[in-house]
């Protein structure tokens, strides 16, 4: 079977699929595209025009959650829990992860300090919900790495970049989430789901948002230049 993951360098939804593939030890080819200038072959096979897209022997499957479910059906080991109710709970928290990704987007495009602070409060509240859901460390389901971990690894990666800009204190009141974040950061499948140039690419991307975050990054650069 040939698997091609049609990707974008920064896309967190691509990363969750790459992590699931890595956890299952399934080889695949990654094909990065420019989402600002989508190739015609991609638009032709992608109904939503979004990454990720998994080509399974040239047949396109779209939507990251659907792709993860397909991989669960086909390749061992099972990352989802066996119990149907627990599995439904995991799927629900995958969905919550997508909601957090939407807040992260609102956070880095916030045009001014007040809007940024508002999204910061929203993130604190959302991670508060996650905190209440976490049981035994190190992962979402204790020692068993699950698809929810694959969803949250790329979420937490954003906060490494945000922490380089300023201390937003987002995890100050959620120690379990913070510990989970660090456990996921140390997992090889998560670390390897992005290229070596990811940090620079993400910094460039954030700098070009013309947002409050971009301004804070500029201020940081000017301060560093003044100190040099």
Ligand X SMILES: N[C@@H](CCC(=O)N[C@@H](CS)C(=O)NCC(=O)O)C(=O)O
Please report, as ranges, the residues that interact with ligand X according to CB under 6 A: 8, 11, 13, 35, 49-52, 63-65
Sorted by sequence, the CB contacts under 8 Å of residue 71 that are 6+ apart come out as 17, 20, 21, 24, 26
Q: Least separation, in Å, of the C-beta of 198 and ligand X?
A: 13
**Is residue 120 among the annotated active site residues?**
no
Nearer to ligand X, 63 or 69 (CB): 63
Closer to ligand X by CB, 62 or 138: give it. 62
Cβ nearer to ligand X, comparing 92 with 132: 92
Taking the complex as a whole, the smallest distance from the CB of residue 74 to ligand X amounts, in Å, to 18
97: Cβ–Cβ under 8 A, 6 or more apart, which residues? 148, 151, 152, 155
CB of 124 to ligand X, least distance (A): 23
Spatial contact of 32 and 159, defined as CB atoms under 8 Å apart: no
Distance, CA of 16 to CA of 24 (rounded, Å): 12
Asked if 168 and 162 touch (Cβ cutoff 8 Å), the reply is yes
In the complex with ligand X, the residue whose CB is nearer, 46 or 178, is 46
Q: Rounded to an integer, what distance in angstroms lies between the CA atom of residue 135 and that of residue 157?
A: 22
Of 10, 11, 33, 141, which residue is the catalytic one? 11
Tokens representing 65 are 């959650």
Q: How far is the CB of 23 from ligand X (least distance, A)?
A: 18
What's the min distance (Å) between Cβ of 197 and ligand X?
Answer: 17
Alpha-carbon distances of 134 from 65, 130, 143, rounded to whole Å = 21, 6, 12
DSSP 62-127: ESHHHHHHHHHHHSSSP-S-SSHHHHHHHHHHHHHHHHHHHHHHHHHH--SHHHHHHHHHHHHHHH
> Is the CB of 15 or the CB of 146 nearer to ligand X?
15
Q: Mind telling me the catalytic residues?
A: 11
């Amino acid at each position: 079977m040939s698997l091609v993951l049609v990707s974008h360098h920064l896309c967190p939804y691509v990363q969750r699929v790459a992590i699931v593939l890595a956890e299952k030890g399934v080889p695949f080819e990654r094909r990065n595209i420019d989402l600002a200038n989508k190739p015609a072959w991609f638009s032709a096979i992608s109904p939503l025009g979004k990454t990720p897209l998994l080509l399974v022997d040239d047949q396109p499957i779209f939507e990251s959650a659907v792709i993860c479910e397909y991989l669960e059906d086909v390749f061992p080991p099972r990352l989802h829990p066996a119990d149907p109710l627990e599995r439904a709970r995991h799927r629900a928290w995958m969905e919550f992860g997508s909601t957090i990704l939407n807040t992260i987007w609102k956070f880095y495009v916030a045009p001014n300090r007040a809007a940024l602070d508002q999204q910061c409060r929203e993130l604190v509240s959302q991670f508060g919900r996650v905190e209440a859901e976490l049981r035994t460390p190190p992962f979402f389901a204790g020692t068993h790495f699950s698809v929810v971990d694959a969803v949250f690894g790329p979420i937490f990666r954003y906060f490494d970049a945000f922490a380089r800009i300023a201390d937003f204190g987002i995890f100050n009141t959620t120690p379990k989430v913070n510990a989970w974040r660090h456990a996921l950061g140390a997992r090889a499948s998560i670390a390897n789901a992005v290229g070596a140039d990811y940090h620079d690419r993400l910094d460039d991307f954030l700098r070009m948002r013309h947002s409050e975050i971009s301004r804070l990054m500029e201020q940081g650069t000017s301060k560093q230049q003044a100190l040099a």
